[in-house]
Structure formats: structure tokens, C-alpha cells
Structure 1
Amino acid sequence: MKHILPALILLLFSLPATAQDNPIVARMQAFQAAFNAGNAEAVAGFYTENAALFPPRSGNVVGRAAITAHYAQAFQAGVGGLQLDILEIRQHGPDTAIEIGETMVEAGAQRIHGRYLHVWAREGATWRLSRDIFNVIGTSPR
């Protein structure tokens, strides 16, 4: 019984960061707004200059210019309506964090459900996406 309190304290300090005041949560909310506005340039601005995007069933997209073109093509094809569910954010040192979550986007007559893993890098005071990996886990009609 006397070991329960220390164990609970350790558990509390080891939980992943998911508070709404987390700067990465705020960045993802702004990312979602830029995505849903169809603004490829603004979306790409959330990535580091040498970031890599790993879309499913596609080649790697490396660098901010290529990421801008990738999102511009997606928006031109009618992709939008991004919804995010951040499941976990864990900071690894002062300048790196890992985020895991689930998404839903609308594309034509479908809703595409997916999971993602983001590697965030702090550049000065700003968190930017360094690596973005996502998978499709299912579709449903709109």
C-alpha cells in the first residue's frame, strides 16, 4: 500500500502530453484550418525545409516545395474536410516530439479514415513537421 502513491506520481509524470495548451496541439489546429481552406502554401509552411512526407501507395515527397505541390494537387482533386483526433504527443528532448493520431478527410463521394505519425522538430520557438507518415485504414460514403 505504501508503494501505491509513489507509483501513481510516476505514472502521472510519464503520461503523454495531450493538454489543449500544448503548442503542437495548437499547431495541428492551425494546420487543419489551412488544410480545410485549401491553402497548399500555408499547409507546407508547417513543415521544415527538408521535411519528408510518406503518403500511402505513393513515393516519398521530400522538401517544402514538393510538399506544397503534393497538397496543391490533392486540393485540386477535391480533397478537404480534414478532421483530426490527436491520440498522443510525446516529447523526446527539448526539440523533438512524436505525435500519433487519426484523421478523416473527404475526397469525392468518400470519407477516408487514416492514422498518422508525425515527427516534430523545434526550429527556434516554432514547432514544424519533419516527418509525416500516414496510412489509410478504411473508407466510408459521405
Structure 2
Amino acid sequence: MSAPSVMRHLLAAALIAIPSAAWANPLDEQVRAAYSAWNAAFNKGDTEAVAAFYTGDASFLPVTHDVIQGPDGIRKFFAGLFAGGVTDHALDLIRTAGDDKIVIAAAKWSAAGKDAAGKATRFSGIATHVFERQPDGSLKLKLHTFN
């Protein structure tokens, strides 16, 4: 076997041996971690913890077409959801883009609740998130919209 052929085989073997996590997009991993923490706060019904994921000047644009500004409005919106029995929220990342200051993410979301007749059901849709990187490296939501 020639030297170039041996090198190709060694390179192929090395690539196969590298865990797939080594190929993961760092932004994807950061957003997945933020989503996991956000979901945990939501699923505890903790309005204070949910609001803490947003910047002080955040805009929240829910399916109701309301324009909600800042953590106080966000807290009030989620208090209404929790009072209505919405639970079991999940975010499934579709894609990310961004840089060291702003990260944009799209996700599928789902949650459990009750329909207009009071019957248990699942709701779902698509969400867009614009995160602002904080001085400590964490991500906070600057803009959140969903349908």
C-alpha cells in the first residue's frame, strides 16, 4: 500500500473514531442549554425564573399579537399561562446563527394544556429567539416570538 493510501485510511479511521459531539455547532449547544434551563423554569411554573431569561428591554410577541415589553410584562403573560394549567413545555432546536454578541435561533415548541372545552391537549408551533450574550457569556432573550 502506498504512503498516500495509508494516510487516507488512517485519516478515515480517525474521523470515524471522533465522537459526533466533536462536530457539534457551539451555538447549537449553547442554545440547547439555554432552552433546557428555560423549559425547566417554565415547567416549574416559576414566573420569576422565566422572566430572568429576558433582557430588561426584551420584546415578547406571543400568538395573541400583543406586544409585551420587559420582564414585568413577560412575568404577567406567563403567570396567565401557568394559571391556565399550561405545563410540559419543550423546545426542539431547528437552527442557529450568530456571533459573539447576538444569537438567533428557530425552534419547534410544544406544551400541554386544555382546549376551550377543558379537554387535555398538546399545543405546538414555531418560535424565533434572538439572544443577547451577557458579559458572563450567558444568553438572555432580547426578542421572543412564537405562533
| TM-score, scaled relative to structure 1 | 0.78
State the 1:16 CA deviation: 9.0
The equivalent residue for 1:17 is 25
2:83 maps to 1:76 = yes
Asked which structure has the greater CA Rg, the reply is 2
Structure 1 residue runs without a partner (length 5+): 1-14, 136-142
Change (3 A) 1:16 1:62: farther
C-alpha displacement at 1:57, in angstroms? 2.5
Matched, 1:129 2:141: yes
In structure 2, the residue corresponding to 1:56 is in which secondary structure?
coil
Counterparts in 2 of 1:51 and 1:62: CA distance versus 1, 3 Å? same
Whether 1:112 and 2:123 are equivalent positions in the alignment is yes
Q: CA deviation at 1:17?
A: 3.1
> Percent of counterpart pairs with the same letter?
29
- TM superposition score normalised by structure 2: 0.75
Change (3 A) 1:124 1:57: same
Judging changes above 3 Å, is the alpha-carbon distance between structure 1 residues 72 and 118 closer, same or farther for their aligned structure 2 residues? same
**Alignment correspondent of 2:103:** 97
Q: Contact 2:27–2:103 at 8 Å: present in 1 too?
A: no
| Root-mean-square deviation over aligned CA pairs | 1.9
Deviation of the 1:39 alpha carbon: 0.5
Cα distance in 2 between the residues matched to 1:51 and 1:42: 15
Q: Is the 8 A contact 2:131 2:141 kept in 1?
A: yes
Report the structure, 1 or 2, having the larger helix content: 2
Alignment partner of 1:110: what SS?
strand
Compared with structure 1, are the counterparts of its residues 105 and 18 closer, same or farther at alpha carbon in structure 2 (3 Å cutoff)?
Answer: farther
User: CA offset at residue 103 of structure 1?
Assistant: 0.8
Aligned residues: 119
